[in-house]
Amino acid sequence: MTNGVLMYAHNNLEIDYLKIACANALMIQKNLHVPISLITDISTYNWGKKSLTEKFIEKCFDKIIFIDKNHRFINERNFNDTSFTTKNLQFYNCNHWKAYELTPYDETLFIDCDYLIMSSSLNNCWGSRNDVMINHTIYSPYDQILPYSKTVDDMGIKQYWATVIYFRKSPLAKHLFSLVQHIQKNYSYYKDLYYFSSGLYRNDHAFSVAIHMLNGFNDFESIITELPILGLLMSWDVNDIHSVKLNDIILYVERSESKGNYILSRIKDTDVHIMNKWAINRHSDELIKLYE
Amino acid sequence: MSKGYLILAQNSSSTDYVRMAYALALSIKGTQLGVNQVAIATNDEVPEKYKTVFDHIVKIPWFDHAKNSTWKIENTWKFYYMTPFEETVVLDADMLFPTDISYWWDVLSSKDVWATNKPRTFRGEVITSTKYRQVHVSNDLPHFYIAFFYFKKSDLATELFKMTNIIFDNWERFYYTYLDETRPKFNSGDVAYALAIKLLGIENECFDTNSIPTFVHMKSALQNIDEKYISEDWTKSIPTYFTEDCKFKIGNYEQYLPFHYQIKEWLTDDMINKLERKIDL
């Protein structure tokens, strides 16, 4: 049985996802000690060769899997860099359903490159009796409330977060990913049926619908288990990074309903989803230096 | 031991409860592979066609205490004396059964009385809203829901129904003596039974932490949805998909639990036709 981590990286005009993935790969090497594969496209890779060098990229990943980009897929969204800067950029995320076919591992931790691994918690997944694990429970730094779940809409189904997915090669996982493919191909239909507020394609929503369908159109008792962690720690894109150390990040966390009013929050030995990509890009050289 | 469902159905000037009880009986016959005996308790006329799905039609004992009432709850203390079964699940008429819950009976049989205290939203979440339960919260009453509760002929059930009878006969005095200012200004089955259970000190005998018995309670304000997004009449905000084989989704949620639709107009003739076809009626 092989196991490893799988990440995607497709750069857009401003966000260097490959550099973020490289920094995170070094963090994974340090904390999880498992092989890492990257799925990317040739233009992202060529940019990385120039900016990071081919030798460095190969040091970060055990395997690089190239896929062609579908240039007809237009999926623009607003990316926030704190509450004060917003840019509308391409969000290339239409191929996550391919992870099942493309992974070189029997057991895969499929993670977003901005989910920074600062602990060994996810090593508890290996050898799980669950074929798929994915979280609906999340929590936020400096939050007064306990881990919680959201729905995709006020009337809608439970939201799962495709940020981290554990799966093993199995009929259930295969079925889940093929359902996600189907939902993505018919997204405008599912968007209306499940009351998604915008037309932006989100894997979170596609996986939520797929899991809802696999559960027999109910969330009462899910056949998909959550990951063996408290929940996904989410640093929303209105936050910024103050400083980074080894497995130790200090964040500027914007207080809810108080724009521009930040409080410092320290995340130590805990994995965290940093949704402000520019914040990671600003600190990625430092992260690489720390973990290299 | 005979087992079955008991539905008290008394038509009011605006609502045909016997028709709703008929639809409920059809759904029980169409889904329950185990216990599927149904008794209706009514003094109203039951149409010939309806009679085919009721195993027992019983008259309301003594006289009709709800004769001049619109809410028709005044006879709900009489379940013990109406039921033809040794073990009974009492149901509200405005419910449907989408799936087989026969296995619940084996669990329910372990107690003499077992009431629902954790109904669910259409999304399957346990209802946390206490909007309509201020009197329960304020007076530390157990959350008794009359819409689905089990009892067997037993000393405990006898005691409970006797005490409930006394409360029904003297409800103003009991509510004034035992409840604070949140007390209802009218008699309520859920409050009277809850008070009877509390006064008898049998909360532990009548409830459990199990996920059953339960049902989906469709009162809008209980759905864990911000009230600005859901009309007081939930059917105006959430669509229903009712299939030929009588499975149904509310919004995007397939319903598996006994479903208390509450808005009487939700039950259409088309649904009843489908329920009839399902059992070849």
Structure tokens at A95: 């191929």
Report how many Cβ contacts below 8 Å link chain A to chain B. 35
DSSP string computed for A67-109: ----TT---EEEEESSTT-EEEEE---TTGGGHHHH--SSEEE
Strands A232-235 and A138-139: parallel
CA-derived radius of gyration, chain A:
18
**What is the predicted pLDDT for the residue at A260?**
87
Residue A191 is part of a domain; what is its CATH number? 3.90.550
Three-state DSSP state, B81: helix
Strands A3-9 and A36-40: parallel
Whether the CB-CB separation of A244 and A286 falls below 8 Å is answered with yes
Length of chain B counted residue by residue = 281
Q: Does the beta carbon of B251 lie under 8 angstroms from any beta carbon of chain A? A: yes
> Among residues A42, A35, A51, A34, which one has the least CA distance to residue A9?
A42
Query: Is B124 in contact with A219 (Cβ distance < 8 A)?
Result: yes
Q: Which residues contact B10 (CB under 8 A, 6 or more apart)?
A: B17, B42, B43, B44, B60, B64, B66, B72, B75
Distances (CA, A) of B188 to B87, B215, B261: 24, 19, 19
Residue A119 lies in a domain: yes
Nearest to B252 among A154, A194, A220 (CB): A194
Q: Does the beta carbon of B237 lie under 8 angstroms from any beta carbon of chain A? A: yes
How far B196 CA sits from the closest chain A CA (Å)? 32
Structure tokens at B82: 């109406």
Query: What domain range is B45 assigned to?
Result: 3-278
Query: Is B252 in contact with A216 (Cβ distance < 8 A)?
Result: no
Query: Is A216 in contact with B254 (Cβ distance < 8 A)?
Result: yes
Task: Kindly report the three-state secondary structure assignment for every residue of B97-133.
Answer: CCCCCCCHHHHHCCCCEEEECCCECCCCCECCCCCCC
Query: Strands, DSSP E only, in A179-278?
Result: 232-235, 240-245, 248-254, 262-268, 272-274
Q: Does the beta carbon of B169 lie under 8 angstroms from any beta carbon of chain A? A: no
DSSP string computed for A130-188: -SEEEE--EE-TT-SSPSB--BSSTTSPBPPEEEEEEEESSHHHHHHHHHHHHHHHTHH
- pLDDT 10s per residue in chain A (292 long)? 899 999 999 999 989 999 999 999 999 999 999 999 999 999 999 999 999 999 999 999 999 999 998 887 888 888 888 999 988 888 888 889 999 999 999 999 999 999 999 999 999 999 999 999 999 999 998 776 789 999 998 889 999 999 999 999 999 999 999 999 999 999 999 999 998 888 889 999 999 999 999 999 998 788 999 999 999 999 999 999 999 999 999 999 998 888 889 999 999 999 999 999 999 999 999 999 999 8
Nearest to B256 among A155, A194, A220 (CB): A220
How far is the C-alpha of B139 from the C-alpha of B136, rounded, in Å? 5
Q: Which residues contact A277 (CB under 8 A, 6 or more apart)?
A: A15, A17, A20, A79, A81, A114, A237
* β-bridge partners, A244: A249
**What is the predicted pLDDT for the residue at A146?**
85
Strands B248-250 and B240-242: antiparallel
Q: Cβ contacts (< 8 Å) between B120 and chain A: which residues?
A: 220
Strands B145-152 and B87-91: antiparallel
* β-bridge partners, A132: A167
Show the DSSP H helices in chain A as ranges: 17-31, 42-51, 54-60, 99-102, 171-185, 187-193, 203-214, 277-291
Question: What CA dihedral angle connects B76, B82, B88 and B92, to 10 degrees?
Answer: -40
Nearest to B252 among A154, A193, A220 (CB): A193
Query: What domain range is A113 assigned to?
Result: 3-238+274-291
Whether the CB-CB separation of B202 and B234 falls below 8 Å is answered with no
Task: Fill in the DSSP letter of residue B266.
Answer: G
Predicted complex ipTM exceeds 0.90 = no
Q: Tell me the average confidence (pLDDT) per consecutive run of 10 residues in chain B, 281 residues long.
A: 95 92 98 97 95 96 80 87 97 97 96 95 92 92 94 97 96 95 92 96 90 94 91 95 96 96 96 97 89
Mutate to test the interface with A, among B214, B253, B255, B259 (most CBs of A within 10 A): B253
* Chain A contact residues (CB < 8 Å to B): 151, 154-158, 193-194, 212, 216-220
Residue B204 is part of a domain; what is its CATH number? 3.90.550
**What is the predicted pLDDT for the residue at A183?**
96
* β-bridge partners, B150: B89, B114
Task: Fill in the DSSP letter of residue A121.
Answer: G
Supply angle C-alpha A97, A100, A105, rounded to 5: 150
**Burial status of residue B137 (CB atoms within 10 A of its CB: 0-12, 13-18, 19 or more):** exposed
If one counts the domains in chain B, the total is 1
Nearest to B253 among A154, A193, A218 (CB): A218
**What is the predicted pLDDT for the residue at A109?**
98
% of chain B with per-residue pLDDT over 70: 100
* β-bridge partners, B8: B41
If one counts the domains in chain A, the total is 1
Whether the CB-CB separation of A97 and A181 falls below 8 Å is answered with yes
Query: Is A218 in contact with B254 (Cβ distance < 8 A)?
Result: yes
Whether the CB-CB separation of A130 and A225 falls below 8 Å is answered with yes
How far is the C-alpha of A218 from the C-alpha of A227, rounded, in Å? 20
User: In chain A, whose CA is at the least distance from the CA of B226?
Assistant: A154
For chain B positions 87-126, those within 8 Å of chain A (CB to CB) are: 120, 123-124
